[in-house]
Amino acid sequence: MLKVPEHEMNQVLPYEFYTQKRWENWLGRAKESGFQIKESEEEAGKESAVFVNMVDDVILACLKVTARFEKEMLSKEMALQILEEMRDIVLAEVEPISEDIDLMIDSVQTSLMGALVAFECYVMGDYEEGADINELIKAAIDAEASDNLELALDYTAQCGAIVLKGQTLPEELMADLPYGIVAEWLDGIDSISAAMVGSDSYKEFDEDDEDDAI
């Protein structure tokens, strides 16, 4: 558990970045979707949208944290504490719903693991801004092939941190990723990249903002 400085222990955050209730609402939507894995991607697309939106919602919340951190409205310790609390919410074991939905939620959580370690790495500053993103991805894949998942996750985190700093993911390399956990972690990084090129409203929210109920 990260130690938050004593002067911040009683700080009341002006904004709830992500809550247990919000995650449970998404799980409820996933259950209501009745999702089933189908041969046709087009056929499954509408039902599977809820899982994409689950990931995007968490990533948007993380971007709001880093936006405040960048503006020095949150200390490093407090930003990491918030990210850790979000990790505890979204990576907790989920009660079984159905075989297909459970597989999708597992995939969501794996992608979110990749995204969350990237945000943490970014806040910690444990990356080289000028690092070659292609080499980091290849190193992560090689580490997975050698069954060193801890190292693979570290390379993935660094990759995500430099994406947060402004680098882009190499489309060709991403398209040819071998199936595995690194590919799923990198899906989370890809979701960060997509969110950053979309609306930048996450940078401008004020103290009275409230997310729409889902």
Per-residue pLDDT reduced to its tens digit, 182-201? 999 999 999 999 999 876 77
Task: For residues 164 and 127, give the distance between their C-alpha atoms in angstroms, rounded to a whole number.
Answer: 11
Residue type, 47: E
Tokens at 107, concatenated: 């995939």
Tokens at 163, concatenated: 């994406």
Asked if residue 210 belongs to a domain, the reply is no
pLDDT given for residue 59 in this prediction: 97
The residue among 6 and 52 whose pLDDT is bigger is: 52
Asked if residue 137 belongs to a domain, the reply is no
pLDDT tens figures, 94-124: 999 999 999 999 999 999 999 999 999 999 9
- Which range marks the domain in which residue 53 is found? 17-126+183-203
For residue 20, is pLDDT > 70? yes
Asked if residue 121 belongs to a domain, the reply is yes
Asked if residue 102 belongs to a domain, the reply is yes
Asked if residue 145 belongs to a domain, the reply is no
Q: In total, how many domains does the chain have?
A: 1
The residue among 56 and 13 whose pLDDT is bigger is: 56
Asked if residue 142 belongs to a domain, the reply is no
Asked if residue 25 belongs to a domain, the reply is yes
Contacts 24+ apart (CB under 8 A), 18-24: 18/58, 18/61, 18/85, 18/86, 18/89, 18/90, 19/89, 20/89, 22/57, 22/211, 22/214, 23/89, 23/90
Comparing 67-76, 82-91, 142-151, 204-213, the range with the smallest average pLDDT is: 204-213
pLDDT given for residue 44 in this prediction: 60
Residue 125: Cβ-neighbour burial (10 angstroms; 0-12, 13-18, 19+): exposed
Q: What's the gap between Cα 185 and its chain centre? A: 9
pLDDT given for residue 1 in this prediction: 46
pTM comes to 0.88
Asked if residue 165 belongs to a domain, the reply is no
Burial 154-172 (b: 16+ CB within 10 A, else e): bbbbbbbbbbbeebebeee
